[in-house]
Structure 1
C-alpha cells in the first residue's frame, strides 16, 4: 500500500511553531493557516501591518540570453489586473513586473525583470511543476531556468504601516529608474552612492509592480512591491539561510514603533498572519 508523501516545510516552520500557528496542507506544503482564532490577522493587514511567510510559492530564476524569449513563448495571456504594464517578458524594463499565465490552466504568475538577462518568476505552489515544464518546452535547448523554491524564502509585510516597519530593515537598494516613482525634492541625507538609494528613499519611491536588488539587515535580498486591494505589500525574497534572521529583525523593528489604536485599545504594529487572512484579503480585492 502506497504511503502519502510527507508535506514539505519551509525554512521558517520553526518560527511558526513557536508562535503557536495552526497549520494546513496547501499544494504539498505545510503552511501556517492562522496564529489565533477570530479576524485579528485580517484586521491587522487592513489597519496596521501583517507579516507572512509565502515561501511555499513556486520561485524560479530565469537567466541567460534566451531567458526573455523563452518566457515570451511560454506566456498564454496577460492578466489585465496585474500590478504592472502588460507585455512580453523580453520587453519589460529592468526593475518592472508582469502578471501573466505560463500555462493555459495556470493562475497568473508574476515575472520580475532583474537584469538584461535575468528574471525571477513566482507561481502558485500548485503551478510549480507545470510552470517549469512549460518554460522549458518553449525552447528545448535552453537550460537557464532554475527551480529555486527550496533555496529562496519569501517574507511579505503588508498593510498601511508596512513601509514604516521596513524603514528600519531595508538599508539600501539599486536605483533602477523604471522601478522608481519620480521625485523632485528628495530629503537630504539619503545619498548612499551612485545609482544607489538609501532605504527610506527606496521604500518611498519603489513602484507597485517593481523589484530591485537591495540589502536588508546586512543580507542581500530582492525587494518587490505590489498592492493587494488597498493593502501596500512589500515582498522580500532572500536566501533560505537568511530567512529566520530577517523575520526576527523585522519583528524587532516593529516592536520599537508606537502601537496602533483599535476598538479594543492599543494594537501591535505588526501581527503574524496566516494564509486564511491573506486569502481573505486577496479575495476581497477581487470583488
Structure 2
C-alpha cells in the first residue's frame, strides 16, 4: 500500500508497475527472474535452453552435475573420450575399475603384466592364479595351503613324492590318515610301523587293539596288560578275570591291603 496521502486510484507504486509489466511482456508463468522468450523457467535460466536446471551451458540438452562438452553420459568427473567413467578412469580404458593398468583386460586386485585373472599375490610363470592358495610358487598348477614343488594336490604340509597327502602325512605313504607313519597302507589315528588295521594308539605286532594294547595281546580292554586274553580294569599278568585291583595269581579277590595293614595282620596272626 502506498503511504502517500493521496487517493488510492491515483497511487502508482513501483511494485505495481512491475506487476503490470509482467502481464504484458509475453510471459505465461513467471518464476524466479523470468526472461524474454522463455516459456517455463526455474532457477536462473539462460538463452537458448529449453529446460534449464542448475547452471546449464550452451549446447547441452540435459545438464546434470557439472557436465562438460562432448560428454554423453556424465558420471563422477567424466573425461574426454571415456564412455563409462568409474573411479579415476584413464585414457584408452573402456571400463575403468580399481586402478586399472595398461594392457590389462580385467583388472582385479593388483594385476600384473601377463596375468589374466590375478588372485592373491600371483607370481611369474603361473598361468591360472584363480585357485591359488597362500603364496603360490612357480611351477605349481593348483596350489593348496603351502604347496611345494612336484606336488599336484597338496594338503597340510605335503612333502615330495606324496601324491595325496592328508594331515601330517609322511614320505612313502600312499593314503595316510591323521598322523600316519611310514610303511602304513591304511592307518587311522596315529598308527605305527607294521600295523595293518588299528584304532587308538596301537603298538607293534597288534592286529586289532583298543585302548593301549600291549605286545602279544589279541584283544585288550581298558588298561590291559601283557599275556592277558580277556582283561577288564587293570588286570595283571596271569589273571584271566580281574576284578577291582586284583593281585598276582589271584583269580577273584577283594582290594589288596597296604603294607602297613599287611604288617598288622601278620602281627595279629
What TM-score does the superposition give when structure 2 sets the normalisation length?
0.16
Decide which structure has greater strand share. 1
Structure ranking higher on relative contact order (CA contacts 8 Å, 6+ apart):
1
What TM-score does the superposition give when structure 1 sets the normalisation length?
0.15
Decide which structure has greater helix share. 1
